[in-house]
Amino acid sequence: MKILALSETRESLSLVESVISICETYSSLQGEGMHSGLPCFFIRTAGCDLRCTWCDTVHSFGPGEKVPINDLLALIPEHITLVQITGGEPLLQRNLPALFEAIHTNRKRSRILLETGGHRSLQAVPDYVHIVMDIKLRGSRESAHDFAANFPFLKPTDEIKFVIADIQDFQEACHWVREHDLIHVCNILFSPVAGRMPADQLADLILQSELPVRFQLQLHKILWGERTGV
Is residue 24 very low, low, confident or very high in pLDDT (cuts 50, 70, 90)? very high
54-78 pLDDT tens trace = 999 999 999 999 999 999 999 999 9
Per-residue confidence (pLDDT) for residue 225, from 0 to 100: 72
Q: Is 214 helix (H, G, I), strand (E, B) or coil?
A: strand
110-167 pLDDT tens trace = 999 999 999 999 999 999 999 999 999 999 999 999 999 999 999 999 999 999 999 9
Residue type for position 226: E
207-218 pLDDT tens trace = 999 999 999 998
Residue 94 to residue 14: CA distance in whole angstroms: 14
CB 213 within 8 A of CB 185: no
All domains in the chain, ordered by first residue: 6-224 (3.20.20.70)
pTM, whole model, 2 decimals? 0.89
